[in-house]
């Protein structure tokens, strides 16, 4: 059997067409990633630095999806870690996990064609909470934050490999502010909830792009219903649940029709379904 491809080379497969709205987010992130990729010499020889990106906003608004789409579009390996996964109760364990994560990203970058990769930190707030000089002063969490800052500084001045850090949080207010200094997570991008029919249409269109609609039905019609019946602010994840609910109902209806046909003709339901094209409607 063929060996599994090395996880170092894992390039995701999320197209921007899969994502509704958020075109401002695409433009702003690509600018930060594409420039160093297109002009490596400029970045190596000048004081220009790559800076990391912080995506923030409510849960389910597409932060992970966007980070993957950037890696897909730029053909970059994607390494993803969640803040809490790196926390370790052994003394020095969490710092080591942070260092190992960055080492892994550097390795992935070296192994890739463009000497680059995306390192995605989800739930960053749990790894780098605000240090106010009280509480954990000088304690374990302080050392984790210091290690994270040191690693962010290392990669921003590394002229051989491009490790693009994209971090995400629902609670930017909890983050240590030193993370946001120039050269670190300098670029802040907000992803909000969808509001109103137009934004809902944008997201539902992306989510339903492979569906076929029954005559008289459309994404716009569905979005109007959603906007009418469901609370005014919705995340992409909420709308994904609406779309898959529609899909489930359509499937149930198709099966019902196939069962009726099977009962009439004496053919097995599976055979009836096989005879139909896949384009039964939502
Ligand atoms: P969390 O903060 O909880 O980690 P997140 O912001 O990273 O959430 P994602 O994991 O990217 O959110 O999105 C969850 C799911 O919601 C996606 O898999 C997708 O189905 C849907 N989704 C979110 N935003 C969009 C969008 N703009 N267009 C299409 N689908 C979306």
Nearest alpha carbon, ligand 1 atom 15: 237
Cβ–Cβ under 8 Å, residues 217 and 282: yes
Residue 189 has what pLDDT? 94
Residue 1 has what pLDDT? 42
Would you give per-residue pLDDT tens digits along the chain (282 residues)? Answer: 444 445 556 889 999 989 998 888 998 888 888 888 887 777 766 666 677 999 999 999 999 999 999 999 999 999 999 999 988 878 788 999 999 999 999 999 998 888 899 999 999 999 888 876 554 555 778 888 999 999 999 888 777 788 999 999 999 999 999 999 888 998 999 999 988 778 888 888 888 877 776 666 777 777 777 767 666 788 889 888 888 777 777 777 777 777 888 888 888 877 777 776 555 544
Indicate the top mutation candidate among 20, 61, 70 to test ligand 1's pocket, ranked by most ligand atoms within 8 A of CB: 61
Q: From the alpha carbon of 55, which atom of ligand 1 is closest? A: 6
Residue 48 has what pLDDT? 65
Map residue 142 onto helix, strand or coil: helix
Q: From the alpha carbon of 62, which atom of ligand 1 is closest? A: 11
Residue 131 has what pLDDT? 75
Residue 276 has what pLDDT? 66
Centre of ligand 1 from the C-alpha of residue 237, in Å: 5
Establish whether residue 114 lines the binding site of ligand 1, counting it when its CB lies within 6 angstroms of any ligand atom. Answer: no
Residues in the chain: 282
Residue 222 has what pLDDT? 73
Establish whether residue 59 lines the binding site of ligand 1, counting it when its CB lies within 6 angstroms of any ligand atom. Answer: yes
Q: How far apart are CA 42 and CA 58, in angstroms?
A: 36
Residue 161 has what pLDDT? 81
The residue behind tokens 């994560």 is: 101
Nearest alpha carbon, ligand 1 atom 17: 237
Centre of ligand 1 from the C-alpha of residue 61, in Å: 5
Centre of ligand 1 from the C-alpha of residue 232, in Å: 18
Strands 162-169 and 53-56: parallel
Q: How far apart are CA 73 and CA 87, in angstroms?
A: 31
Q: Residue 188: name the closest of 12, 32, 17 by CA.
A: 32
Nearest alpha carbon, ligand 1 atom 31: 236
Q: From the alpha carbon of 22, which atom of ligand 1 is closest? A: 27
Residue 8 has what pLDDT? 57
Centre of ligand 1 from the C-alpha of residue 21, in Å: 12
**Which residues on neighbouring strands pair with residue 116, listed in sequence order?**
162
Residue 255 has what pLDDT? 75
Indicate the top mutation candidate among 15, 59, 62 to test ligand 1's pocket, ranked by most ligand atoms within 8 A of CB: 62
| E strand or H helix at 234 | strand 233-234
């Amino acid at each position: 059997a063929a060996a599994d491809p090395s996880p170092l080379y894992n390039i995701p497969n999320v197209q921007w067409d899969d994502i509704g709205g958020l075109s401002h987010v695409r433009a702003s992130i690509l600018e930060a990633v594409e420039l160093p990729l297109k002009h490596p010499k400029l970045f190596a020889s000048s004081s220009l630095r790559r800076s990391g990106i912080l995506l923030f906003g409510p849960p389910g608004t597409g932060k992970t999806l966007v980070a993957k789409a950037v890696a897909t579009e730029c053909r970059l390996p994607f390494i993803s870690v969640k803040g809490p996964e790196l926390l370790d109760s052994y003394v020095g364990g969490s710092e080591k996990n942070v260092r190992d994560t960055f080492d892994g990203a550097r390795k992935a970058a070296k192994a890739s064609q463009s000497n680059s990769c995306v390192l995605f930190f989800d739930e960053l707030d749990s790894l780098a909470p605000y240090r106010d000089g009280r509480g954990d002063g000088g304690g374990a969490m302080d050392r984790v934050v210091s290690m994270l800052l040191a690693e962010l500084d290392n990669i921003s001045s590394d002229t051989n490999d491009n490790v693009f850090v994209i971090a995400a949080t629902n609670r930017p207010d909890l983050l240590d502010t030193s993370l946001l200094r120039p050269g670190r997570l300098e670029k802040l991008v907000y992803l909000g909830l969808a509001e109103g029919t137009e934004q809902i249409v944008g997201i539902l269109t992306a989510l339903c792009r492979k569906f076929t609609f029954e005559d008289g039905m459309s994404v716009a019609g569905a979005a109007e219903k959603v906007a009418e019946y469901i609370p005014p602010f919705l995340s992409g994840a909420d709308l994904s649940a609406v779309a898959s609910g529609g899909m489930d109902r359509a499937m149930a209806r198709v099966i019902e029709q196939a069962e009726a046909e099977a009962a009439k003709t004496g053919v097995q339901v599976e055979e009836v379904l096989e005879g139909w094209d896949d384009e039964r409607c939502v």
